[in-house]
Structure 1
Amino acid sequence: MNKVLILGGTGRIGSSVAQDLIAHTDAEIIITGRNSANGTALGSQLGSQVKFLAIDLDEEDSLKNAIASSNLVIHCAGPFHYRDAKVLKSCIEQGVNYLDVSDHRSFTRKVLDCKPEAEAAGVTAIVNTGIFPGISNSMVREGVEQLDEAERIHLSYVVAGSGGAGVTVMRTTFLGLRREFESWINGKWEMVKPYSDREMIQFPAPYGRTGVYWFDMPETFTLPDTFPVKTVITKFGTVPDFYNYLTWSVAHWWPASWLRNSAVIEFLAHVSHRMTDFTDKLSGVGVAIRSEVTGSKDGQPASYCSTLVHKNTSVAAACGTGSLAQLMLDGKLNKPGVWVVEQALPTDLFEQTMESRGIQINRSWLKP
């Protein structure tokens, strides 16, 4: 029987991934965390397919032993701003396949550097596998494939309240405000200030026209590395809209030294989470993605747009990760090396796994 180890499996995202695997595979699932009481209770709640193992990622011997007894490791222990590539390196040493839900460029660069070692070991490792990045990358790939030549990618995301992901999504948001980042614009790298250049994007119901802002995502550099385009834009926003203004004020008015202080980030994350405990009841915890790829088809300007809406951000992220895990466990996705989703997942398999999970992606051609 396949055995899947989910690091950070007692968190919102990790436990959602476990539930996806329960629904779509017969694998034995080991969820890990540091709190034995909470982990054991969650394991019992999820059912007989799931067991709990207490692990601290700093305990390298315990971590290596757990990895060695697994067929697949799924790294859900964020925020990934603070993580290094040691989990992936241990998987490569043990010959175990790997997925993660990482969402920060510094971590992504660290794990991508392990590509030669993973390829030599025959290990398939896919990173950034949640909802955004993750499903969003596959939506872009599909758009690029529809065109004869792609020139511009515009990705927009909106999350309602906490997104159902607890305090982690708040940490990730504020950590993303720390410094300017490089973006691929008109064929060259330019520095962009986070949460700048508000743009109103038309998302499907229930979101409608919603404000989004520049945000540092791994897609900002992985997409131009994968596809020969001139521009890649990644923008993010939240609802209710007043959260956008609060985040904008932190990004533009607070001293940079404050945002580099981990205590300040924790304060902001927990205050925001307490606020969303109230507003989530009104806004929900859903997510929407809009991917627009512009270029040419049959010698004419063309734009291909795809959109996705899901009522729970954490569950949607688990669908992205769980679908890849299912394909790897079934032997349908075997690509030794370290890859981002748009490089590893063929569009036909992406469409099949999304359909099996009831995720509807709407597609349309836009008038030039």
Structure 2
Amino acid sequence: MSKVVIFGGAGGIGAVASKTVSATDDFDEIVIADLRGELAVDLASSLDHPNARGVSVDATSHESLVKAMSQATVVCNCIGPFYRFGEPILRAAIEAGVNYVDVCDDLDATERQLELDQAAKKSGICAVVGLGNSPGLANLLAKFGSDELLDECNSVDIMHIHGGEPEEGPAVIKHRIHAMVNDVPLYIDSKFETVRLLEESGQRYVEEVEFRDVGTYPVYPYPHPETITLPRYLKGLTRATNRGVVFPISYFNYTMEVVREGLAKLASSTPKSEYPIDEWVEKILSRREEFLAEAGIEGPKGCLKIVLVGKKDGEVHKFIFSVSSSADGAGAGTGIPAGLGAILLARGKISGKGVFPPEGVVSPLEALTLASELLPKLKFGGSSGSVDFPLHIEHILPGGQSEEIPLSF
């Protein structure tokens, strides 16, 4: 009997992960665990799975978490913000002896989770942290390019954009604020350079980027963990950056304005734990619909763009990966990879013991192949038929010519 528990399974990302794991017959039982028990029950009843059920869980209670994991094969954690919930839920999985995957996108939380490596090994579990979009799919595509397309990968620049989702919960805004008030490590010339998104140090790395299916927008340094994990696994890497933005840009600018004004009112010695985050979140969300309407945003879109530069046969090559959608945003882009990770763990395709970033233990080809198989069944973006895998790879040859790399899974 195989059982998966999706924590935060009734949320925007967790619901997608729940639908993804229900699209195969790998699990005999699917448990959607959420603080909002009624929503979890409703979602479970909507899944095409005979043994899906919803339960209420309190993520602030260690006992509640461990109890919900009882007899599980895999735990898939989608509860944010991860700087608060990432480490405690992983600790519960280690105690319960259950394999684990999450979508942690907070660098400081990832560092704390990676420190649990020995505890996870002792428990005999495999924990994959940050298997969402960025981090997650970004790590796997960088690994794929480094292993399959290049002899040596020298630089990885990760850029991401999303917006227009039906709603954004407080946890999403808290993560965004967290990114604006914390250090952002960029790996430049084989050493780490620390910047801040809202300060001059970070503004130096802002640039306009064209995103497939979305448009051209400025991207800002983000404290996502790829910049600290990729250098450990990609041979020859001397540069790793992560930059992102949310559209409409007026909404993102307003978020920065609220945070700047909020910080200006605080004493410099005020600890981050005492920042009035909830007040800032309420202020930001109160105007979200206004900004969406003014910009004419009618639905979600998103794009993950990764630029790899390295050497093949002694010559410099560039590969540009774009995973995009003109109909889906952060929920699908993050929840699908998490669900894929849970399935691969259940199948024994991820077999290391300890705590790993995606590029440390997940086969990019196996994950991409599984994604291409499941996307037609998931039918996101209102599709009623087959969905092509939305990955495009552009190859810039040493002479400057451009070609598209055909995909076959």
**Equivalent residue number for residue 327 of structure 1:** 344
Residue 232 of structure 1: CA displacement? 1.0
Query: Which whole-Å deviations, capped at 9, do the CAs of 1:98-153 have from their partners, x for residues lacking one?
Result: 01111101111111111112123321110101111111111111122221122111
CA distance in 2, matches of 1:243, 1:100: 27
What is the TM-score normalised by the length of structure 1?
Answer: 0.91
Does residue 306 of structure 2 align to residue 304 of structure 1? no
CA distance in 2, matches of 1:257, 1:72: 45
* 1:90-105 paired onto structure 2 within 5 Å: 90-105=92-107
**Equivalent residue number for residue 110 of structure 2:** 108
Verify the 8 A CA contact 1:147 1:297 in the aligned structure 2: yes
Residue 294 of structure 1: CA displacement? 1.0
Instruction: Give the match's secondary structure for 1:23.
Output: coil
Which stretch of structure 1 is more off in the superposition, 274-283 or 145-154? 274-283
Query: Which whole-Å deviations, capped at 9, do the CAs of 1:166-192 have from their partners, x for residues lacking one?
Result: 443222212211133222111222121
Verify the 8 A CA contact 1:181 1:193 in the aligned structure 2: yes
Does residue 152 of structure 2 align to residue 149 of structure 1? yes
Query: Which whole-Å deviations, capped at 9, do the CAs of 1:191-218 have from their partners, x for residues lacking one?
Result: 212153321112212x232221111111
Q: For structure 1, which runs of at least 5 residues remain unmatched after alignment?
A: none
Query: Which whole-Å deviations, capped at 9, do the CAs of 1:57-102 have from their partners, x for residues lacking one?
Result: 2332232222122111111111112225232222222221001111
Structure 1's 38 and 46: CA in aligned 2 closer, same or farther, altered over 3 A?
Answer: same
Verify the 8 A CA contact 2:248 2:295 in the aligned structure 1: no
Query: Which whole-Å deviations, capped at 9, do the CAs of 1:34-57 have from their partners, x for residues lacking one?
Result: 233333333323354321111112
Match for 1:14: what amino acid? G
Match for 1:240: what amino acid? P
**Equivalent residue number for residue 243 of structure 1:** 251
Instruction: Give the match's secondary structure for 2:282.
Output: helix
* Alignment root-mean-square deviation, CA: 2.3
Match for 1:183: what amino acid? L
Residue 250 of structure 1: CA displacement? 4.3
Verify the 8 A CA contact 1:10 1:32 in the aligned structure 2: yes
Structure 1's 55 and 277: CA in aligned 2 closer, same or farther, altered over 3 A?
Answer: farther
**Equivalent residue number for residue 393 of structure 2:** 363
**Equivalent residue number for residue 234 of structure 1:** 242
Verify the 8 A CA contact 2:174 2:277 in the aligned structure 1: no
Q: For structure 2, which runs of at least 5 residues remain unmatched after alignment?
A: 267-271, 376-387, 399-409
Instruction: Give the match's secondary structure for 2:59.
Output: coil
Instruction: Give the match's secondary structure for 1:85.
Output: helix
Match of 1:292 among 307, 312, 330: 307
Does residue 359 of structure 2 align to residue 337 of structure 1? no
Verify the 8 A CA contact 1:222 1:340 in the aligned structure 2: yes
**Equivalent residue number for residue 186 of structure 1:** 189
Residue 220 of structure 1: CA displacement? 2.0
Instruction: Give the match's secondary structure for 2:227.
Output: helix
* 1:1-368 paired onto structure 2 within 5 Å: 1-27=1-27, 28-46=29-47, 48-83=50-85, 85-145=87-147, 146-162=149-165, 165-194=168-197, 196=203, 197-205=205-213, 207-227=214-234, 228-250=236-258, 254-255=262-263, 260-275=275-290, 278=293, 282-310=297-325, 311-312=327-328, 313-356=330-373, 357=375, 358-367=388-397
Instruction: Give the match's secondary structure for 2:297.
Output: helix
Instruction: Give the match's secondary structure for 1:294.
Output: strand
Match for 1:238: what amino acid? V
Residue 352 of structure 1: CA displacement? 0.5
CA distance in 1, matches of 2:169, 2:263: 26
CA distance in 2, matches of 1:252, 1:65: 42
Equivalent residue pairs, number: 367
**Equivalent residue number for residue 379 of structure 2:** none
Residue 304 of structure 1: CA displacement? 1.4
Verify the 8 A CA contact 1:174 1:268 in the aligned structure 2: no
Instruction: Give the match's secondary structure for 2:197.
Output: coil
Structure 1's 216 and 18: CA in aligned 2 closer, same or farther, altered over 3 A?
Answer: same
CA distance in 2, matches of 1:63, 1:328: 20
CA distance in 2, matches of 1:224, 1:339: 14
Residue 289 of structure 1: CA displacement? 0.9
CA distance in 1, matches of 2:166, 2:360: 27
Instruction: Give the match's secondary structure for 1:69.
Output: coil
Residue 299 of structure 1: CA displacement? 0.9
Query: Which whole-Å deviations, capped at 9, do the CAs of 1:8-35 have from their partners, x for residues lacking one?
Result: 1121111111111111234211111223
Verify the 8 A CA contact 1:25 1:326 in the aligned structure 2: no
CA distance in 2, matches of 1:72, 1:108: 19
Residue 272 of structure 1: CA displacement? 4.9
CA distance in 2, matches of 1:64, 1:185: 41
Query: Which whole-Å deviations, capped at 9, do the CAs of 1:281-325 have from their partners, x for residues lacking one?
Result: 725212101111112111111111111102322122121111111
